[in-house]
Amino acid sequence: MTQKELKEFLDEKVLLYNNPKFIESDPIQIPHQFSLKEDIEIAAFLTATISWGNRTMIIKNSFKMMELLDNSPHDFIVNHQEKDLEIVKGFVHRTFNKIDFIQFLKSLQHIYKNHHGLENALSIKDNSNTYQTAIHQFKNIFFEVKHQQRTQKHISDPLKNSAAKRINMFLRWMVRTDKAGVDFGIWQSHNPANLSCPLDVHSGNVARKLKLLLRTQNDWKALSELDKNLRKLDKTDPVKYDFALFGLGVFEKF
């Protein structure tokens, strides 16, 4: 395909998958239960954190997390005391267990009380056009509070060449905005042009078949290559093509 043909093909797939029906089968349905900005972003962050493995189980366990937080995640995060954290004992999603969940609640409280919330903590402050350094700095902030070493693996570090799939997915949800109603676009201090695709097995394989990606590993170097090529197709909203790559891979077995 020529670049023009490729863009037309992918734009069609974006229209097909970027619509409210997509929400019904996707973890993004959890933050869509809320209307308060802080509830949306906290629900989205916790959901994205456990978004690996079986999609049905991801959705089930994400709803469980919201129930444990009294379906008022921001209020719980800001106001909880040590004794309130007992309610999460027994929670587990794959390798994310109660130790990790409790740590995330403490770290999120630290971010909202001392770093002006998730929107500020994840903002790009080095004048770059990617979130590579921003995510690295966010991880440092997240673990400024006392924590167990085991929990660090649940926040990726792009400066260690991780593709940071789950945080990039979370960023897409928060930053990207359009009329389709899937992504929220509530972080208006961020620029959608700087977003990167959540790169995983499905999107990576489709990108390689379409010659958008040559690198064989799904790491940050691959993500940078994919960024470059997607930004040629749409420099202001490159991550809309996540819908196309994901849909082609998961629903069409492309």
> Is the confidence at residue 89, as pLDDT, over 90?
no
The mean pLDDT value for 65-84 works out to 96
Element (H, E) at 134: helix 132-142
pLDDT digits (tens, 9 = 90+) for 114-154: 999 999 999 999 999 999 999 999 999 999 999 999 999 99
Which domain, by its residues, includes 115? 3-251
- Contacts with 34 (C-beta within 8 Å, 6 or more apart), sequence order: 40, 43, 73
Counting Cβ atoms within 10 Å, is residue 41 exposed (0-12), middle (13-18) or buried (19+)?
Answer: buried
pLDDT above 90 covers a percentage of the chain that reads 93
What are the C-alpha distances in Å from 107 to residues 19, 42, 175, 202, 247? 33, 12, 22, 31, 34
Paired strand residues for 96: 93
| Residues 165-181: tens digit of each pLDDT | 999 999 999 999 988 99
Q: What is the pLDDT, as a whole number, of residue 1?
A: 86
Q: What is the pLDDT of residue 2?
A: 93
What would the mean pLDDT of 211-227 be, rounded to a whole number?
A: 97
Query: What is the arithmetic mean of pLDDT over 88-98?
Result: 93
Percent of the chain with pLDDT over 70: 100
pTM (two decimals): 0.96
Q: Report how many domains make up the chain.
A: 1
Q: What confidence tier does 222 reach under pLDDT thresholds 50, 70, 90?
A: very high
Residue 90 has what pLDDT? 87
Average per-residue pLDDT in the chain? 96
Give the pLDDT score at 196.
98
